[in-house]
Amino acid sequence: MEQQDRIMDGDLQTLGLQSILKMLALSGKTGKLFVHSGPETLSVGLSRGQIVALHEEGTPQLQPDLLGMLCLIHRLHLPQAQAVHEMAQGDQELILAMLVERGWMSHQEMQQRLEFAVTQSISHALRWANGRFAFHRHLVPLGSRMQPLDVDSVLLEALRQADEWEEIVKEGVTQLSRTTIARWQPEVSNDVRNLGLTQESIDVLCLCNGEIPLQAIALVLMLPEARVARIIARLLELNLVEVVDTAFETELQQDLANLMMRCQYILAPYRGSRTPEHLLPGLIKTLAECVNGLLMHHGRYARSLRGRGHLSPVEIVRYLESCFMQPLQLLAKQHYPILETANFVNGQLDCSDILTLNRVVKGEQLEEFYWEAVRGLGTFLRMVFERLLRDEVGNSHTGRHLNMAWKHFLSEIDGEVKNYQMVRAQRKVTMRGYDVTQPPSIGMVPKWNGAPQPEAWGNGTPEREGDPYWSIDTQRRSI
């Protein structure tokens, strides 16, 4: 930008945003005002002293998914949102214009939403204590679908919203900020219909299911951010939502990503092996290492252990064994007896007895024991991960992202398992003259619908008839 185009600049401590906008309005200026405070920047387009455009930079979620949020509050159906999204490519003004064109929103509501977005941003910038500003006269704003706004009217509403935010800060009602993200609790036992929530509170609760920042919730509902903060504080009291610690969850995701990479490294020497004596122990080592990595991870990030300060290793071990000892024992009793030789030692799964079976068992019987251990550990691994994910992040965007990454990792192990199954089937066909039914992928428990829930652990032994896993080879045997 040319230096001569800048006709006014200075420090916000000397001249506040309110005074700057009033001066530009009174003198009927046309151009663009830039206001900087830390990483945040606000640019306001003016035409003859009226606001015609505004843009924010430097804050998270600057382009909230308006269409997705309208779906969450049942203003749009998903097919409608998808049709507009593909054509608008994230342009918020174009999205609103297309909704008006299709009759899904009135022109009046579009103008109200554009005005509210301007007011919300200016209200936030009015609270900036430090920063700088500059006005450039030759930066003529491009055409906008918003009707020009009177500066005094915008400032009046923006100041009211800023004062309302200052009130809740002074009252100590909440420590929430405009970038706070709240989401549903993983398990809500209350029936929200009996809690006497207002429609505004219900709308905020619905939007919390999308894991979007407070600022975006206020924008889509056209409510002051302070009012949304009060509602979220109330939902927190009712234990319906929780505040997402984004730094914590980034650390959590990175820890799991590192674990998957480590297990892939352990698996690498055994990839493509067609020798059962080499492949099966390698899979057992990989699965055991992955289970133990998940247990260590859960000892750091389990919801029940958060906020309790430094915990002794004994307390963490006690918690992990209370969560996973019983399902391992029932899995051994009901499906995979070989797992009875695996033990928990200091919060870790010890499979050394399985890996040293070759000292006492040889040949085909050893292979059968190893094969049963691979399937049992694969099943237990899936159970541990699902319990861990449900506890730590629940049914959230983070949880769904981690679940997809986890399935991709398990598919690599499944690939090696299927290679072994083919070798095994071909060998049996050659030796016995008939084919065998191949069992499903690793980690699938027979007759169980996904990983068992805690309350389902111990409901007895499933039927054996017709079960591809439950053959004479996998019945209880002594070593």
Report which listed range, 106-115, 190-199, 243-252, is most confident: 106-115
pLDDT of residue 277: 85
* 223 pLDDT above the threshold of 70: yes
Residue 450 vs residue 41, higher pLDDT: 41
* 41 pLDDT above the threshold of 80: yes
Closest CA to 45 of 93, 4, 97: 93
pLDDT of residue 274: 78
Closest CA to 51 of 98, 121, 104, 2: 121
Domain ranges of the chain: 3-63+109-170, 182-243, 246-474
Looking from the CA of 33 toward its CB, the CA atoms found within 13 Å total 30
Section 334-363 average pLDDT = 89
Place of tokens 């009875």: 340
pLDDT band at residue 415 using 50, 70 and 90 as cut-offs: confident
Q: What are the tokens at 445?
A: 């428990």
% of the chain exceeding 70 in pLDDT: 83
Render pLDDT for 300-332 as a digit per residue (tens, 0 to 9): 888 778 766 677 888 889 999 999 999 999 999
Whole-angstrom Cα distance, residue 217 to residue 208? 8
Residue 212 vs residue 210, higher pLDDT: 212
Whole-angstrom Cα distance, residue 299 to residue 305? 8
Global pTM exceeds 0.85: no
Section 54-82 average pLDDT = 81
Q: What is the mean pLDDT of the chain?
A: 81
pLDDT of residue 285: 92
Whole-angstrom Cα distance, residue 176 to residue 306? 19
Where does residue 344 rank: exposed (0-12), middle (13-18), buried (19+ CB within 10 A)? middle
pLDDT of residue 141: 63
Where does residue 286 rank: exposed (0-12), middle (13-18), buried (19+ CB within 10 A)? buried
Render pLDDT for 426-470 as a digit per residue (tens, 0 to 9): 877 776 555 444 444 554 444 443 444 433 333 333 333 333 333
pLDDT of residue 468: 35
pLDDT band at residue 479 using 50, 70 and 90 as cut-offs: very low
Section 412-432 average pLDDT = 80
Whole-angstrom Cα distance, residue 146 to residue 316? 57
